[in-house]
Amino acid sequence: MLLSDCVDAYLDYLRVERALSPHTVAAYGRDLAKLVDFAEARGVSEPTAVDVDLLSRWMGQLHQSGTSPRSAARHLSAVRGMMKFLAKENVISNDPSRLVTRPKTGRRLPKPLAVEQVLALLDQPTADTLKGHRDRALLSLCYAAGLRVSELLGLRLGDLDFERGLVAAFGKGKKRRIVPLAAVTLTAVEQYLERLRRERVVGADGLLFPSRGGRPYSRQMFWKLVKRAALAAGIPEHVHPHRLRHSFATHLLVGGADLRTVQALLGHSDVATTEVYTLISADHLRQTHRRSHPRA
């Protein structure tokens, strides 16, 4: 079995067994293709011939080509995932990637928006049109439920429970989680759905946010929406959809929510992933203390 065939098999596993999004699978494929090219240029075409020396030289080449430590670490994670898969399938007997040192990346904290900034951003869509109601519902749901873009745009009508005020989000690996919604968000969605029915726009497979042609609303369109709303709200810094998710988590913790609750609402499988938000909260508390305490 050639190394390139192993990559194809691993990507099929991620797509079918792990149910990862096409975007994520494509990213893994690009990273692993670089390893295949590097190995084949050095006469290595079988997975059993991949060793620690080859992987270390590959990591060194990534560094020399200007790849950032964070990106190089992502490349190594892709290789480790594939090697673990190949060992499980008895294609290889030893996993050399375990012995390769992971590049030091530092801990980059997500930067949340202030509550006032988020509220100003959410208030930007004002037009009494289908587009205006849709944009208001999209932004409100994204922040109020802490949704990833893929989760937001993949919502279907049946995922909303208006009586109990809940939304069912399907995250990585199609894992389902329930997130409560405030009345203001439910109202925004109800007004949008009423306008959708009035204009007789129907989405494929019951999609909550279809485009005019009935196809799914695209990631690029939502990124542009967030950028427009941030500019209109007078937010001077770069705002992307994931910052709304970061802000959701941080505002919950600052407001007194416990870490396990925030972990469940974000859909993190490991609480260590959620712990990064406690550092943001501590920083927020320090800044507030310095601004307001007479002895700070």
Q: List residues with catalytic annotation.
A: 148, 172, 242, 245, 268, 277
CB 78 within 8 A of CB 32: yes
In three state form, how does the secondary structure of the chain look? CCHHHHHHHHHHHHHHCCCCCHHHHHHHHHHHHHHHHHHHCCCCCCHHHCCHHHHHHHHHHHHHCCCCHHHHHHHHHHHHHHHHHHHHCCCCCCCHHHHCCCCCCCCCCCCCCCHHHHHHHHCCCCCCCHHHHHHHHHHHHHHHCCCCHHHHHCCEHHHEECCCCEEEEECHHHCEEEEECCHHHHHHHHHHHHHHHHCCCCCHHHECCECCCCCECCHHHHHHHHHHHHHHCCCCCCCCHHHHHHHHHHHHHHCCCCHHHHHHHHCCCCHHHHCHHHHHHHHHHHHHHHHHCCCC
